[in-house]
Amino acid sequence: MADVRIVEVGPRDGLQSQPTIYTPQARAQFIDALVNTGIKHIEVGSFVHPKAVPQMANSDTVFELIQRHPGVVYSALVPNEHGFELAARCEPDEVAVFCASSEGFSQNNTRCSIEESLQRALQVCDLAKPKGIQVRGYLSTVIECPFDGLTPIAQVVELVERLIDMGCYEVSLGDTIGKANPEQITQLLSALLPSVTADKLALHCHDTYGMAVKNVLAGLELGIKVFDSSAGGIGGCPYAPGAAGNVATESVVKVVHEQGLQTGINLQALRSIGI
Ligand code: MG
């Protein structure tokens, strides 16, 4: 039994910001190879409009091609009701909804206000529940926004509570531009933890300034047990100027194992995988 759950975001969050568009076959092979290292939770693709994110076109085909293993959560990112309907045909174990903690990022990333994105997320939650599909919430720019500057902690707390209230079983807190330091992560989590328990929170760190692993450690210290990461550290954010890649899965696995905690992932096997 793993002590820490790694959510592998490389095949979605990673590949969507790569200049290369990979075939569904290559994406499916990448996913299968990652799962074979012991990863139990993985983003397969997204159902946003292919004009907006051409790298994620044909995510339905990727779902068809992967070899699904029992006990592994295969997730799809969905922007709205329509995206959910498309994703639901692929029978994902989970869909992920997203919203920003800053208006500037919300407008630039999704061309809508925070309030509108919450409404879309609520609609997805209401559709997913009767189908037995769990919903994970992504909240971006929780520390700092490339357009609005530092994000007020109270704003993040309110948005996390609203995502949980609407039915997200977990909210992944995104340091989208990788500017967070461990003190800021500690401050944010300390503000959240009285009202939201640690088992409903995850951290999604980017490594722009080489702080991601330290931020993961700060999260572990306060009881966070779920971390998003991407194999090889691929991916930045196409809508966040200057954002470097997601923290590398191998870095997170290594540091978690060094703490004497288990991930169930074979680090050596993981290091040999690329797309
Ligand atoms: Mg990311």
> Each residue of 153-196: pLDDT tens digit?
999 999 999 999 999 999 999 999 999 999 999 999 999 999 99
Asked if residue 241 has pLDDT above 60, the reply is no
Tell me how far apart the alpha carbons of residues 152 and 155 are, in angstroms, rounded to a whole number. Answer: 5
Q: How far is CA 78 from CA 4, 27, 30, 62, in A?
A: 25, 18, 21, 15
Task: Show the CA angle centred on residue 96, arms to residues 118 and 226, nearest 5°.
Answer: 110
Tell me how far apart the alpha carbons of residues 232 and 168 are, in angstroms, rounded to a whole number. Answer: 28
Type of residue at 148: D
Helix (H, G, I), strand (E, B) or coil at 7: strand
Structure-block tokens of residue 274: 């690329």
Q: Quote the strand ranges of 128-176, DSSP E.
A: 134-140, 144-145, 149-150, 170-175
Give the residue-averaged pLDDT of 235-246: 66
237 Cα–ligand 1 center, Å? 6
Q: Which residue has the higher pLDDT, 169 or 19?
A: 169
Structure-block tokens of residue 236: 């930045």
266 Cα–ligand 1 center, Å? 22
Q: Which residue in 90, 112, 205, 237 is the catalytic one? A: 237
Q: Do the beta carbons of residue 179 and residue 143 sit within 8 Å?
A: yes
Q: What are phi and psi of 48, to 5 degrees?
A: -85, 170
pTM of the model: 0.96
202 Cα–ligand 1 center, Å? 13
190 Cα–ligand 1 center, Å? 23
Q: Do the beta carbons of residue 94 and residue 134 sit within 8 Å?
A: yes
pLDDT of the residue at 238 = 54
* Cα first-last separation, the chain: 28
Q: Which residues on neighbouring strands pair with residue 95, listed in sequence order?
A: 76, 135
204 Cα–ligand 1 center, Å? 6
Highest mean pLDDT out of 42-46, 206-210, 232-236 = 42-46
* Active site annotation includes 237: yes
15 Cα–ligand 1 center, Å? 10
Asked if residue 237 has pLDDT above 70, the reply is no
pLDDT of the residue at 22 = 96
